[in-house]
Chains A and B, each alone.
Chain A
Amino acid sequence: MSYSQSWLTRPFTERSTQIFLGVLFLAVMVVSVLHLVMPEGSALYVSSYTVTLLGKYLCYALLAVAVDLVWGYLGILSLGHGAFFALGGYAMGMYLMRQIGDRGVYGDPTLPDFMVFLNWDSLPWYWHGFDMAWFAFIMVLLAPGLLALVFGFLAFRSRVTGVYLSIITQALTFALMLAFFRNEMGFGGNNGLTDFKDILGFDLRTDAARLGLFIATGIALAVGYVICRAIVTSKLGRVSVACRDAEARTRFLGYRVERVQLFVFVVSAMLAGVAGALYVPQVGIINPSEFSPLFSIEIVVWVALGGRATLYGAVIGAIIVNYAKTVFTGIMPDAWLFALGALFVLVTVFLPKGIAGLLPGLKKKTDDESEAPTSGKEATA
């Protein structure tokens, strides 16, 4: 691969990125057009229920891409990415709560409903500013980004690696979950934030707003994907792959490993935050269960299922697992966990490279160097 191009344009010259962007663009276009043009009742009509559902899948896909960036290319198995996702979601949720204004059930102009009925008399300081969209949107990036920066700084500086790193990311998200469950924190406790009315002046309950959010998610996924590709194909990306495969050697070669790790980790956290922010208005609720360690493990499972260190594999994995969930919980409510569990086991045993491993054409072209490591060298990391 030549390094003459600028890092930003390089991804667009890759075939896999072109195909990915093309498929994504087409899918979003087709769904939007069918939703708008087709009459309701027609077999081809895409209902707003489906649009929102697809929007949710795309949010998960972006989250999976963020996880794949650190896991696939940096060798950090984060079991706590749900925390960044949820923080982004809460930032958005707080904005949406403030937008409700005096339309809450108690009609209080500033305090959200849950604060009124738990007798809060004024808005906590950290809720200020979230009535302004620009502030909230910055916080969507800043809150997870800062957390990742502080956490990563501490962890990478003292060279915490492997399972130790994985488990403390898990401890992080677990601690945050418990904290957000506490009603004293002022984030609505277990009920979380819900009953949103509108976003940027558009009524969330209209089909137009739904479609708009869906398209926005599609764009976010495309941008996120390109950013990740740009990183992994840049020199920085090559260093991070080196860190993944032989951290000590890379260090001895003179690279500041912890800086690379920190940078990629923070970018990944911000992407997860954006995914969370887009997720919340589409599903209509944010609650501490998104911090649950099991959810974070599930994200890793999507990535592994789709194919690690490919990025598009993460997207495929996230969409397939969540689609399977939607279908199975509807058609076989009593037994869907059997199907899902079996899917995980079978894919692991029979498809070691995930579903992406089944796409040979794409594979050869892009992942010559950043092949997912299959040796036990990286231990349990």
Chain B
Amino acid sequence: MSIIRSLKQLLIVCLLSLPVLGHAQANDEQAQSLLTQLADASYAQKGKIAGEIARSGDERARGWLEAFSAGKLAKVEDSGKFVIVLSNRGRNWTVQDALTGDDLGEISRRDLDTIRVNNSLRSEIDGILSVIDLTVNDADKRLEAARGLRGNVDEAMAKKLTELMASEEDADVKATLDEALAIYKVEEQGDIGAVKTLSGSLNSEARAALNSATYSDDPALKQAAQDALASIETKLKWNRAAETLYFGLSLGSVLVLAAIGLAITFGVMGVINMAHGELIMLGAYTTWGMQQMLPGQPGLALILSIPAGFLVSALAGVAIERSVIQFLKGRPLETLLATFGISLVLQQLVRTVISPLNRTVVTPDWMSGSIMVNEALSLTLNRLYIIGFALVVFVGLMLIMRKTRLGLEVRAVTQNRAMARSMGIKATKVDIMTFALGSGVAGLAGVALSQITNVGPNLGQNYIIDSFMVVVFGGVGNLWGTLVAGLSLGTINQLLEPWAGAVLAKILVLVFIILFIQKRPRGLFPQKGRAAEG
């Protein structure tokens, strides 16, 4: 929904220049008195005063209401001047005179009294502003405004909407307005005709209205509402199934991303890399660092983090390989011990150097919100991107392993190190490259995870065990196995969750893995041939 929010913000900018609120120029005195009333009123009265401000015809009113709704309209304590807060971080806030629009520089938070707002006021103001938005030229914007109105219509607004509907040309906007009005009519007036309008709707406000109508004393209305709900319910069932599948795929792709780097370092090289989680963490912190370096451009920073995260983790991987793992050739078990030590050090390093607290990673606008397939089924955008990203990373890795010289050499060295060396392959170099590749991919996972979870020192620990499960379940040394394992474990988990609950679902998945390994002791896709016995 933050798409709506950002659209709204755009809209505000456009609208500020439009004298939609009236033509009369109100004087500053009147404005000051209205704002003072607003500041001193109780929450219950504030809505009324906001309405007065909107009707006052002052063309600055829109800006005030927006600022008020965002909690950014404030009064300077000693001068009684009203200001709009431009930046409200830290102890000193940048402000602008609400009446003259002059920049007033920074004022200490101590000297400012913010005019308080709460949720119900905010939605009231949103309603007031939506009605205004319905008169703009852009049909898409009108549609957004109309959608926002559903469930928020009151008597005064209903009249206005009926008028607007008559002059509305766009069919979608009209239908949505019709629905908004119908919701109001069902809820407030018990209108049976309106129930018909709502009968095919998947909108949750419409369902809410119908639901409340089923408690009605009027048997005809009750019956009509129940019928309408029943028809909606069948539609919903399919949407829910699709939604669960989507949830499963998205969880699965997260698992694949987290595990696929490990599928290389552990699966191909045989290094039990307990620091894998921390390599993921480094990728996530790189994203954070990038966003710090490019303030105001979270999207660009995120895109740049993809190569940067890969590089940072790959370099860390090279450092680990050169400093520790190369000395443990032929002692794969001991890599567990050493990398466990490294993971402790890396975690504490982040705690000491950066902070023990989580870091904020901003989701860029184009990644937040969701795509609406229909009213009941929306696909969250960040997860959609991650599914896509996981597939791209997977295909990329497959190509590297199958089509490049490096891939060929990696496979050769894994299958028979001595033979590969005697054919002139520099095994040491291949080791470094492989470990760097696996670590770099872990970094990529970190970049993606920064968009859905905490970026903190514990990030890695939360994924390390799941990653090992996925790699082993899929069959060590098989990238396809990792993909299938990740996606299927994710889907199983999400299918179980609705009836088993989150904890039990996870336990059941683990038991499933244990039992599955009894049946297929080498995972889904066992490695064949001599290397498998190694």
Binding site for B on A (CB under 8 A): 77, 151, 154-155, 157-161, 163-164, 167-168, 170-172, 174-175, 178-179, 181-182, 293-294, 297-298, 300-301, 304-305, 334-335, 337-338, 340-345, 347-349, 352, 374-381
A116 to B378, CA, bound (A): 44
Does B180 touch A at the CB level, under 8 Å?
no
Nearest Cβ on chain B to A229's Cβ, whole angstroms:
23
Is there contact, CB below 8 Å, between A341 and B342? yes
Does B345 touch A at the CB level, under 8 Å?
yes
A288 to B331, CA, bound (A): 32
A298 to B340, CA, bound (A): 8
Nearest Cβ on chain B to A288's Cβ, whole angstroms:
12
A341 to B272, CA, bound (A): 16
Does B507 touch A at the CB level, under 8 Å?
yes
Is there contact, CB below 8 Å, between B517 and A304? no
Nearest Cβ on chain B to A63's Cβ, whole angstroms:
17
Chain A residues, CB < 8 A from B332: 376, 379-380
Q: Check A167/B334 contact, CB under 8 A, given A158-B518, A344-B340.
A: no
A341 to B345, CA, bound (A): 5
Chain B residues, CB < 8 A from A158: 517-519, 521
Which of B327, B352, B510 is within 8 Å of A171, CB to CB?
A: B510
Does B295 touch A at the CB level, under 8 Å?
no
A352 to B334, CA, bound (A): 8
Does B190 touch A at the CB level, under 8 Å?
no
Apart from A171-B511, A304-B337, 4 more pairs, CB < 8 Å: A338-B344, A345-B324, A348-B337, A349-B328
Chain B residues, CB < 8 A from A174: 465, 510
Q: Which segment, of B210-218, B358-366, B468-476, faces chain A?
A: B468-476
Does B534 touch A at the CB level, under 8 Å?
yes
Q: Check A167/B337 contact, CB under 8 A, given A294-B461, A376-B331.
A: no
Within 8 A of A (CB), among B131-173: none
Chain A residues, CB < 8 A from B521: 158-161, 164
Chain B residues, CB < 8 A from A77: 333
> Interface readout for B321-335 with A: 1 if CB under 8 Å, 0 if not?
000100110111110
Chain B residues, CB < 8 A from A341: 341-345, 348
Nearest Cβ on chain A to B187's Cβ, whole angstroms:
38
Which of B340, B345, B476, B506 is within 8 Å of A297, CB to CB?
A: B340
Q: Check A178/B503 contact, CB under 8 A, given A297-B336, A304-B334, A305-B337.
A: yes
Chain B residues, CB < 8 A from A344: 337-338, 340-341, 344
Shortest 10 CB-CB contacts between residues of A and residues of B: A344-B341, A341-B345, A341-B344, A337-B348, A175-B510, A348-B338, A167-B472, A341-B341, A345-B341, A376-B330
Is there contact, CB below 8 Å, between A171 and B331? no
Which chain A residue lies CB-closest to B471?
Answer: A167
Is there contact, CB below 8 Å, between A380 and B333? yes
Chain B residues, CB < 8 A from A340: 341, 344
Nearest Cβ on chain A to B361's Cβ, whole angstroms:
24
Is there contact, CB below 8 Å, between B348 and A338? yes
A167 to B338, CA, bound (A): 18
Nearest Cβ on chain B to A84's Cβ, whole angstroms:
16
Is there contact, CB below 8 Å, between B352 and A335? yes
Which chain B residue lies CB-closest to A294?
Answer: B461
- Which of B352, B507, B522 has the most chain A CB atoms inside 10 A of its CB? B507
Could you say which interface size class chain B belongs to? 35 or more
Chain A residues, CB < 8 A from B15: none
Is there contact, CB below 8 Å, between B517 and A175? no
A338 to B514, CA, bound (A): 35
A362 to B510, CA, bound (A): 43
- 21 pairs, CB–CB < 8 Å, chain A vs chain B: A160-B517, A161-B521, A163-B472, A163-B476, A170-B465, A171-B514, A178-B507, A181-B503, A297-B274, A305-B337, A334-B352, A337-B347, A341-B343, A342-B345, A343-B341, A345-B338, A348-B324, A352-B334, A376-B331, A378-B333, A380-B333
Does B63 touch A at the CB level, under 8 Å?
no
Is there contact, CB below 8 Å, between A379 and B534? yes
Chain A residues, CB < 8 A from B469: 167, 170-171
Is there contact, CB below 8 Å, between B337 and A175? no
Within 8 A of A (CB), among B268-326: 270, 272, 274, 324
- Which of B468, B504, B511 has the most chain A CB atoms inside 10 A of its CB? B468
Is there contact, CB below 8 Å, between A335 and B348? yes
A376 to B332, CA, bound (A): 7
> Interface readout for B451-476 with A: 1 if CB under 8 Å, 0 if not?
00000000001000100110010001
A335 to B515, CA, bound (A): 42
Chain A residues, CB < 8 A from B443: none
Which chain B residue lies CB-closest to A159?
Answer: B521
Nearest Cβ on chain B to A372's Cβ, whole angstroms:
10
Is there contact, CB below 8 Å, between A349 and B324? yes
Is there contact, CB below 8 Å, between B270 and A168? no
Within 8 A of A (CB), among B418-465: 461, 465
Q: Check A301/B337 contact, CB under 8 A, given A158-B519, A174-B465, A345-B342.
A: yes
Is there contact, CB below 8 Å, between A349 and B345? no
Chain B residues, CB < 8 A from A161: 521
Is there contact, CB below 8 Å, between B511 and A349? no
A300 to B334, CA, bound (A): 10
Is there contact, CB below 8 Å, between B341 and A163? no
A340 to B340, CA, bound (A): 10
A182 to B332, CA, bound (A): 36
- Which of A77, A159, A301, A381 has the most chain B CB atoms inside 10 A of its CB? A301
Which of A293, A349, A352, A380 is within 8 Å of B270, CB to CB?
A: A380
Does B376 touch A at the CB level, under 8 Å?
no
Which chain A residue lies CB-closest to B338?
Answer: A348
Nearest Cβ on chain A to B335's Cβ, whole angstroms:
8
Is there contact, CB below 8 Å, between B517 and A168? yes
Chain B residues, CB < 8 A from A163: 272, 472, 476
Chain A residues, CB < 8 A from B261: none
Chain B residues, CB < 8 A from A157: 518
Which chain B residue lies CB-closest to A167?
Answer: B472
Which chain A residue lies CB-closest to B470?
Answer: A167
Is there contact, CB below 8 Å, between A304 and B333? yes
Which chain B residue lies CB-closest to A179?
Answer: B507
Chain A residues, CB < 8 A from B461: 294
A139 to B349, CA, bound (A): 43
Nearest Cβ on chain B to A373's Cβ, whole angstroms:
10
Chain B residues, CB < 8 A from A305: 337
- Which of B337, B342, B507 has the most chain A CB atoms inside 10 A of its CB? B337
Is there contact, CB below 8 Å, between B514 and A168? yes
A374 to B331, CA, bound (A): 7
Which chain B residue lies CB-closest to A350?
Answer: B327
Which of A160, A298, A374 is within 8 Å of B330, CB to CB?
A: A374
Which of B272, B327, B352, B522 is within 8 Å of A164, CB to CB?
A: B522
A151 to B513, CA, bound (A): 13
Chain B residues, CB < 8 A from A376: 330-332, 534
Does B523 touch A at the CB level, under 8 Å?
yes
Q: Check A348/B510 contact, CB under 8 A, given A170-B468, A338-B345.
A: no
A169 to B519, CA, bound (A): 16
Is there contact, CB below 8 Å, between B518 and A155? yes
Is there contact, CB below 8 Å, between A164 and B336? no
Nearest Cβ on chain A to B211's Cβ, whole angstroms:
31
- Which of A164, A181, A347 has the most chain B CB atoms inside 10 A of its CB? A164
